[in-house]
Chain A
Amino acid sequence: MVWRLIIGEGSIYWNMAIDEAMLVLHDKGLIPNTLRIYVMKPSGVTFGYFQRVDDAINLEFLRSKNIDYTRRITGGGAVYHDMNGEITYSIVAKIDNISRDILESYKIICQGIVYAIEEFGLKAEYKPINDVLVNGKKISGSAQARKKQSLLQHGTLMYNTDLDILSNVIKIPKEKMQAHGIRSIRDRVTTLSIELGYNPGYKHIVQSLISGFRKALSIEFKHQELTPMEITYAKKLVNKYRSKEWIFKR
């Protein structure tokens, strides 16, 4: 099977709008299965659909640093997307091409991240529900939304994320820290640069993600661009992601 491959960059608002547009249009049978790999530029924070803003992120810090933030259409926790240290992927596909079973579909897609990391000679493991770990620390997190026929799974791969900013940005409830047996967020996360001792660089990681997903999903990719239909739809959605009503919904 051949999937579309799209590589790009943009603000968190634009990328969340594109992801939602792709999910809706795929569910209507209007676009093919797609892997998108992108960088959030400028850096920004996204948090889960069900999270309360004040519980999830440090608004005061974000405002003082002029860092963008928005709510995702997917569940899960808050993520700091560092434009110089994090790559985001999103997959839009027919549910039947991955798995009807939700947990199984997380596992299948996250295996692509595991393979991508292994290209650097590191050992990575998928940790249910939605994490990939290296040496016991989180390096990637994913989140999935579904419509009738289609799923959207997007997630991160941290290669050189500024962990000082990350730990200032994301709030973790003490109950979660206790459950993970950690005292701060820094104890739980890592990056490819930390694990390798050097920064492997954006281009190399994009290539590793492409081959990781190719292997995990047994597919080939054809490099293409977004269609005018996707861009038009995303332009309609982007204002939602910038709006107070959406961001402060919970």
Chain B
Amino acid sequence: MVYKSGIKRVKGGKTLKIDLDVESGIIKDIIISGDFFAYPMEAVDELENMLKGASVSNAIEIINCFRDRIVFIGLTIDDIIDLLRKILFL
């Protein structure tokens, strides 16, 4: 299991952190955290649950499915994608 983590301060916005456990190309655990706001908040928990067990190569696609389901304040869903790409060298 490889633990990876990254942090991004969104310009004019909030702080985003992603912590990941990856094993053989599969996301074993992921925590999306920070001082941002999201509506509805439960959708972020749901997104994390969808990503757990998914392959790294599908991660961006899964996040994109939530584009119309979560309104983020202080960051955008593209910030999550950018940071994840950086962490996973995608």
State the CA gap A176–B14 with chains docked (Å): 8
B residues with CB within 8 A of A: 7-9, 11, 13-15, 17, 19, 31-41, 44, 71, 73-74
Decide: A102 and B34 in contact? CB cutoff 8 A: no
Decide: B15 and A175 in contact? CB cutoff 8 A: yes
Residues of B within 8 A of A145 (CB): 41
Residues of A within 8 A of B34 (CB): 48, 50-51
Residues of B within 8 A of A173 (CB): 7, 9, 15, 17
Decide: B7 and A102 in contact? CB cutoff 8 A: no
Decide: A175 and B31 in contact? CB cutoff 8 A: no
Closest chain B residue to A141, Cβ basis: B35
Closest chain A residue to B8, Cβ basis: A175
A186 at the interface (CB under 8 A from B): no
A28 at the interface (CB under 8 A from B): no
Taken residue by residue from 44 to 77, chain A's Cβ proximity to chain B (1 for < 8 Å, 0 otherwise) reads as: 0000111110011000000000000000011111
Decide: A178 and B41 in contact? CB cutoff 8 A: no
State the CA gap A144–B71 with chains docked (Å): 13
A179 at the interface (CB under 8 A from B): yes
Closest chain B residue to A173, Cβ basis: B15
Decide: B7 and A75 in contact? CB cutoff 8 A: no
A25 at the interface (CB under 8 A from B): no
Q: Could you list 20 examples of A-B contacts with CB < 8 Å?
A: A48-B35, A50-B34, A52-B17, A52-B31, A52-B33, A55-B17, A55-B33, A56-B35, A73-B41, A74-B37, A75-B35, A102-B37, A102-B39, A129-B37, A130-B37, A145-B41, A146-B40, A175-B9, A176-B15, A179-B9
Residues of A within 8 A of B71 (CB): 102
